[in-house]
Amino acid sequence: MNRSGAKIVMEALVREGVDTIFGYPGGVVLPLYDEMLNWPQVRHVLVRHEQCAAHMADGYARATGKVGVCLATSGPGATNLVTGIATAIMDGIPMVAITGNVNSWAIGKDAFQETDIQGITIPITKHNYLVTDINELPQVLAEAFYLANTGRKGPVLVDIPKDVFTAMTEAEFPTTIHRRGYTVAGAPPQDQIDEAVRLITEAKRPVMIAGAGVLHSGAMDELRKFAETTNIPVINSLLGLGSFPRDHELSIGMMGMHGEAAGTLAVQEADLVLGVGIRFDDRLTGNTNGFAPKAKIVHFDLDPSEIGKTVSPVAFVLGDLKLSLEAVNKLVQPTERPEWTAQVRKWQDTYPLVVPEGRFLSRTVLQGLNNHTDGQAIVATDVGQHQMWTAQFYKMKKPRSFLSSGGLGTMGYGFPAAMGAKFARPDEEVWAVVGDGGFQMTLQELQTAVEYNCNVKICLLNNGFLGMVRQWQELFYDNRHSHVAMGSPDFGKLADAYGVQFFRCSRLEDLEATLAGASAHDGPVLCEFVVEMEENVFPMVGPGASNSSLVMDPDLEPSEAAHHVGAFETTHAGVKQ
């Protein structure tokens, strides 16, 4: 059947099961926007800035495991997607970004709003295309969705000139996808499984670090069965939070730069570390020369380029993570580890996360949010202190419930990502936890939330600073504050201007009533929590330091915070560099 390029794009979306896309129109994509009117089954969300279209698509993808789709016009529209695309590639998020370009005959002639978005995004996409032949468009779109959501997932960009949107073709979509040199990991080799099981069986003090790969592969049940059969404590990376229930007796939270002390201690004292779907990134490992000094490392992953990139494992299991854990579960035997699990619990009891009484802190608010929702809500964060406190104090009990920019560390991500999650899962309670700095980067999406009655609750922690930068200046630059004091608008007047329900809370006594009022309101809500200005995130491993040099929370009893455990040296008096 002869049809236009614009119709082929809409047909591709329906074929891929896409029900929502996020975009902003412009001249060269008008043929596609005109065609959209014929496809009511695909909802288009009109954002107020293209960067937020990418973040919403990202949040949609993280909350569902499906491909998120964003759309922008040529030139500045396309370049405004770049930060969101880079966010997605760093965290392995499946996304298809569709951009328009000038007519194919005008490319290379500096036409109005011409930009080489294909060249710009080569380093930050899994693959990208410039489609100049209408007959190739069905194949390209099918490939784009396939590449985005298979193997190590990531964003794929499809750049389409205006004349390709209007050209006609009878080309059909392919029935199968095959790209030379691209293979999707399947079951791992049996000898790798056998070696991993042997090491697990021999280990006396094993620990597991579960990352986002568990979520991407849908291996949550297999992970839990593995942990419960072998009685191995489970740590999560930042992006792995939610892959293992935080209220499980084997869960010891996050580890690393701002992880819980028990997890970091456990890795440093372990004789076996199982990295399950993680990259062993620098925020987790600290200085790799001091990472897990007593342990053998076994790495489970589907991407061969990750093996040995940061740490040197003695063994690895290369394959689809769900299939890998299924294979391991067939061979491991039920094992009791009473001394090791007791030691881990002792560390948890000795070094708890601290929320001082009688003060109104960011930690106070986030502990209250966790209690209010019972850890059942979807929570999206910006980047900074509040991100770390959310990871510490919000006890995610369900998968795909924590959305955060881990690799790129994108301020302004939290609110639009939360909206994307709410569009994807409308029956879930969704909170965006943001700071006064990051929120001001994307707050224009309040209008989008109002227009679509997107029922997202915003927990705005207002401390008047770029908090994490101020913390580093305090600890590493002799408390010389440089350009971190953060002026803010009157958020109440701002919310009123947009027609958003607003609450301001500055007292502990009003915390629960504020959270309850926000939850009860049907529609977007902005809650401003005016907290103490100078509060620091602890525990902390200083930049460039080993995980064996851990700064404990000064709010712990000094006798506890100065405790020495094996190779560990902890302090609360200052930060080791």
Q: Which whole-number Å values give the CA distances from 554 to 302, 355, 393, 540, 545, in the listed order?
A: 41, 11, 17, 11, 19
Q: Measured between alpha carbons, how far is 452 from 244 in angstroms, rounded to an integer?
A: 33
Alpha-carbon separation of residue 222 from 232, 322, 326, 327 (angstroms)? 13, 7, 6, 10
**What kind of architecture, by CATH, is found in domain 362-530?**
3-Layer(aba) Sandwich (3.40)
Work out the pLDDT band at 556, boundaries 50, 70, 90: confident
Contact between 77 and 102 under an 8 Å Cβ cutoff? The reply is no
Tell me the fold of 190-350: Rossmann fold (3.40.50)
Is the CB of residue 239 less than 8 Å from the CB of residue 404? yes
Helix (H, G, I), strand (E, B) or coil at 23: strand
Mean pLDDT of the chain: 95
Cβ atoms < 10 Å from Cβ of 339: 10
Q: What is the DSSP string of 388-413?
A: HHHHHH----STT-EE---SS--TT-
Strands 3-4 and 168-169, bridge-based pairing: antiparallel
Specify burial of residue 505 (Cβ count, 10 A radius: 0-12, 13-18, 19+).
buried
Which tens digit of pLDDT belongs to each residue from 132-147? 999 999 999 999 999 9
Q: Which residue has the tokens 């491993």?
A: 541
| Whether 242 contacts 210, CB under 8 Å | no
- Render pLDDT for 290-302 as a digit per residue (tens, 0 to 9): 999 999 999 999 9
Q: For the chain, where do the domains classified as CATH 3.40.50.970 start and end? A: 3-169, 362-530
Structure-token pair, residue 273:
């570390």
Question: Do residues 466 and 487 make contact, with C-beta atoms less than 8 angstroms apart?
Answer: no
pLDDT at 559 over 80: no
User: 168 vs 35, 137, 144, CA distance in Å?
Assistant: 14, 11, 21
pLDDT band, very low/low/confident/very high, at 558 (cuts 50, 70, 90) = low
pLDDT digits (tens, 9 = 90+) for 510-532: 999 999 999 999 999 999 999 99
Identified catalytic residue from 254, 411, 468, 540: 468
Q: What is the pLDDT of residue 482?
A: 97
Taking only the tens place, the pLDDT of each residue in 1-34 is: 899 999 999 999 999 999 999 999 999 999 999 9
Active site residue 309: no
User: Which residue out of 16, 35, 50, 269 is catalytically annotated?
Assistant: 50
pLDDT band at 509; cut points 50, 70, 90: very high
User: Which neighbouring-strand residues pair with 461?
Assistant: 435, 529
Query: Rounded to whole angstroms, how far apart are CA atoms 71 and 200?
Result: 47
468 an active-site residue?
Answer: yes
Torsion from C-alpha of 18, 156, 396, 51, nearest 10 degrees: -90
Is the CATH number of domain 3-169 3.40.50.970?
yes
> Is residue 351 within 8 Å of residue 540, measured between CB atoms?
no
Q: pLDDT tens across 468-486, in order? A: 999 999 999 999 999 999 8
Pairing of the two strands 525-530 and 456-462: parallel
- Average pLDDT of the segment spanning 303-311: 95
Mean pLDDT along residues 111-123 = 96
Is 22 known to be catalytic?
A: no
Determine how many CB atoms are found less than 10 A away from the CB of residue 336: 9
Q: What is the mean pLDDT of residues 377-393?
A: 97
Query: Which residue in 11, 113, 309, 397 is the catalytic one?
Result: 113
CATH 3.40.50.1220: which residues of the chain? 190-350
Asked if pLDDT for residue 94 goes beyond 80, the answer is yes
Candidates 66, 126, 162, 457; catalytic one: 162
The pTM of the full predicted model, rounded to 2 decimals, is 0.95
Q: What is the pLDDT of residues 64-78, one digit of tens each?
A: 999 999 999 999 999
For residues 66 and 18, what is the distance between their CA atoms, to the nearest angstrom? 8
Residue 573: its pLDDT value, please? 38
Beta carbons within 8 Å of 570's beta carbon, 6+ residues apart: 261, 549, 550, 551, 552, 561, 562, 563, 564
Q: Give the Cβ contact number of residue 474 at 10 Å.
A: 16
Contact 120, 132 (CB under 8 A): no
**H helix runs in 241-361, sequence order:** 261-269, 282-285, 321-331, 338-350
Q: Distance (Å, rounded) from C-alpha 395 to C-alpha 373?
A: 10
**Structure tokens given for 418:** 């939360």
Judged against a pLDDT cut of 90, whether residue 560 lies above it is answered with: no
In sequence order, the β-bridge partners of residue 100 are 160
What tokens does 100 get? 């328009």
Percent pLDDT > 70 in the chain is: 96
pLDDT bracket for residue 347 (50, 70, 90): very high
Q: Output Rg (C-alpha) for the chain, integer angstroms.
A: 24
pLDDT at residue 1, rounded to an integer: 86
Structure tokens at 240: 């792995």
Interval 201-257: pLDDT, tens: 999 999 999 999 999 999 999 999 999 999 999 999 999 999 999 999 999 999 999
Looking at 300-413, list the stretches that DSSP marks H as alpha helix, in order from N- to C-terminal side.
Answer: 321-331, 338-350, 362-373, 385-393
Contacts of 291 (CB under 8 A, 6+ apart): 267, 280, 285, 311, 546, 547
Task: Tell the residue number behind the tokens 């712990």, with chain if given.
Answer: 556
CB neighbours (10 Å) of residue 304? 12
**Residue in the structure block whose two tokens are 């892959």:** 243
The pLDDT of residue 440: 97
The pLDDT of residue 393 is above 80: yes
Catalytic, 113? Answer yes
Instruction: Give me the pLDDT at residue 382, please.
Output: 97
